[in-house]
Structure 1
Amino acid sequence: MLNTVLHGEGQPGRPLIIAHGLFGSARNWGAIAKRMAKARPVVAVDMRNHGDSPHLATHSYADMASDLADVITEHGGIADVLGHSMGGKAAMVLALSHPQTVARLIVADIAPVAYSHTQTGYIDAMEGVDVSSIKLRRDADLALQAQVPDLPTRAFLTQSLDLSGEPARWRLNLPVLRAEMDKIIGFPDVTGSFAGPALFLSGGASDYVKDSHHAGIKALFPNAEFSDIAGAGHWLHAEAPAPFIAALSEFLERTSA
């Protein structure tokens, strides 16, 4: 079972499940989850091979969808599901393969397509850090600087560094993520469609969801709506949290049954 962080315990209503992207964790979504938990229970998950969830030998979208279905079973059998990037692809596969578990779907800045940009360079950088010498997060930041010059990206990656033990360790199953990278940046062959409400929310400055993707999205998710947050990039929830929360809340309130 995936590690989960529950917000809004005791709140009535259908839960919102949050599935993070590659190299992320449930803790990255703490601020969004706490805000959304004012109106509903919110369950943020650590995806397999991330955070405090099990490190397993595979990392396919069928695997991740099954993991999410198990979490939903533990929380009443049906949920609204929000997924970003890798988590968004997992949420789409969940909705297509286990439609009875998903009431409404929110996909943040990703399309059901294969992308060409591998993320193995970040794995190279993290594996190149001598964790035996790391005592402070800023030490890891310095060690990553040559290969990862962007400060926000380094800050994001070092959130997955566990400094509680001796030596420090990454809370990421880097060898499996490397081995399964083609699956992660790809998208599986799928059949069927999900007829429930679906919001594809993108960063206005991101190129992950193109207009040319809309027809393919509509084929799988015929009730899909498209919206974007002006000026935001791929990490739209972190770059523009207030507009992100507003768009998410408006969709959930407008489509409530």
Structure 2
Amino acid sequence: MKLFFRQTGDTGPAIVIVHGLFGSSDNWLTISKTVAALGYRVFSIDQRNHGQSPRSNDQDYTSMAADLHEFLVDQQLENPVLVGHSMGGKTVMQYAMDYPDGFDKLVVVDIAPKFYPIHHAEIIRGLNAIDLLGITSRNEADAVLSRYEPIVPVRQFLLKNLYRNAQGQFNWRLNLPVIERELHGIGDELTNPKIVHKPTLFIRGSESPYIVDEDIPTIKRIFPAARIETIQDAGHWVQAEKPVEFVETLMKFIA
């Protein structure tokens, strides 16, 4: 699958960023520009069924890892640093297991290699409740979504997927039917886990429940060279809530 991507920076080592569920490359623009200014080429992709990448009936980590592999081959990126947040973190972990010689370092942002129970069902219901043909503004969509998601920044993040098509009608840059069907699989453990010996950094938010201390032995078992860094006063969207601290932590590891 040929993924849509954005490139920031023309010279320097390559860093590839993989977004999480309901996200896109657009969410990483500010971080990409900051990192590129430090002398790197930053590639941020849209995963399948997200953003401007193609749609598919599959949303499993083996397929998403294969998509990433195809992208790296197409762009002739040898030994890049791979950065993945949430679902994207599981994608880059699966990639590291399936293609162990295809990267230099791994950065996993606020996700562990374990099963997570479904907890996005209410968001899916809220997105499906928005009448795309009936609404006339983003504010109307937000009013509907607010009945399902009370946190304003989360709604703003979700509604970045709303756009007007060539006919002027609202549409989603998400394949909602497939994402809804595959929610359980998105939370699932990784397929055929293997030991990854490359340098790996796990970044977690101190206020996030996604990586807890009890997960560290499992992380260390699969990624024996892993380091775990905690950014204080940050939740699951570490890079958005604490961008300065996030970039400092990322660059220290890469350097």
> Which TM-score applies when normalising by structure 2?
0.95
Matched, 1:69 2:108: no
**How many residues are matched?**
251
Map of 1:128 onto structure 2: 129
Post-superposition CA distance 1:139-189 (Å, at most 9, x none):
211121111111111101100011244321011000100111111011134
Residue identity matched to 1:153 = V
**Aligned-partner Cα distance in 1 for 2:26–2:115:** 27
**Aligned-partner Cα distance in 1 for 2:137–2:199:** 44
SS in 2 for 1:72: helix
Residue identity matched to 2:43 = V
Superposed counterparts of 1:38-57, under 5 Å: 38=37, 39-57=39-57
1:124 is displaced (CA, Å) by 1.1
SS in 1 for 2:104: strand
Map of 2:228 onto structure 1: 226
> Which TM-score applies when normalising by structure 1?
0.95
Superposed counterparts of 1:154-193, under 5 Å: 154-165=155-166, 166-193=168-195
1:223 is displaced (CA, Å) by 0.3
Unaligned segments of structure 1, at least 5 residues: none
Map of 2:144 onto structure 1: 143
Q: Given that residues 90 and 190 in structure 2 are in contact (C-alpha distance below 8 angstroms), is that contact kept between their aligned partners in structure 1? A: no
Residue identity matched to 2:41 = P
Q: Given that residues 160 and 170 in structure 1 are in contact (C-alpha distance below 8 angstroms), is that contact kept between their aligned partners in structure 2? A: yes
1:95 is displaced (CA, Å) by 0.6
Q: Given that residues 20 and 87 in structure 2 are in contact (C-alpha distance below 8 angstroms), is that contact kept between their aligned partners in structure 1? A: yes
Map of 1:25 onto structure 2: 24
Map of 2:214 onto structure 1: 212
Residue identity matched to 1:104 = K
**Aligned-partner Cα distance in 1 for 2:192–2:153:** 35
**Aligned-partner Cα distance in 2 for 1:61–1:100:** 18
SS in 2 for 1:70: helix
**Aligned-partner Cα distance in 1 for 2:241–2:33:** 17
Superposed counterparts of 1:8-19, under 5 Å: 8=9, 10-13=10-13, 15-19=14-18
**Aligned-partner Cα distance in 2 for 1:111–1:65:** 16
Q: Given that residues 117 and 184 in structure 2 are in contact (C-alpha distance below 8 angstroms), is that contact kept between their aligned partners in structure 1? A: no
Unaligned segments of structure 2, at least 5 residues: none
The range that moved more, 209-218 or 70-79, is 70-79
Residue identity matched to 1:113 = K
Q: Given that residues 136 and 163 in structure 1 are in contact (C-alpha distance below 8 angstroms), is that contact kept between their aligned partners in structure 2? A: no
% identity of equivalent residues: 35
1:101 is displaced (CA, Å) by 1.1
SS in 2 for 1:102: coil
1:211 is displaced (CA, Å) by 1.1
Matched, 1:58 2:58: yes
Q: Given that residues 81 and 104 in structure 1 are in contact (C-alpha distance below 8 angstroms), is that contact kept between their aligned partners in structure 2? A: yes
Q: Given that residues 135 and 163 in structure 1 are in contact (C-alpha distance below 8 angstroms), is that contact kept between their aligned partners in structure 2? A: no
**Aligned-partner Cα distance in 1 for 2:72–2:180:** 28
**Aligned-partner Cα distance in 2 for 1:188–1:249:** 27
**Aligned-partner Cα distance in 2 for 1:135–1:43:** 34
CA RMSD after TM alignment: 1.1
1:220 is displaced (CA, Å) by 1.2
Q: Given that residues 81 and 91 in structure 1 are in contact (C-alpha distance below 8 angstroms), is that contact kept between their aligned partners in structure 2? A: yes
The range that moved more, 51-60 or 184-193, is 184-193
Post-superposition CA distance 1:27-67 (Å, at most 9, x none):
00000011111211000010100000011000000011111
1:117 is displaced (CA, Å) by 3.6
1:120 is displaced (CA, Å) by 1.9
1:240 is displaced (CA, Å) by 0.6
Q: Given that residues 72 and 78 in structure 1 are in contact (C-alpha distance below 8 angstroms), is that contact kept between their aligned partners in structure 2? A: no
1:105 is displaced (CA, Å) by 0.3
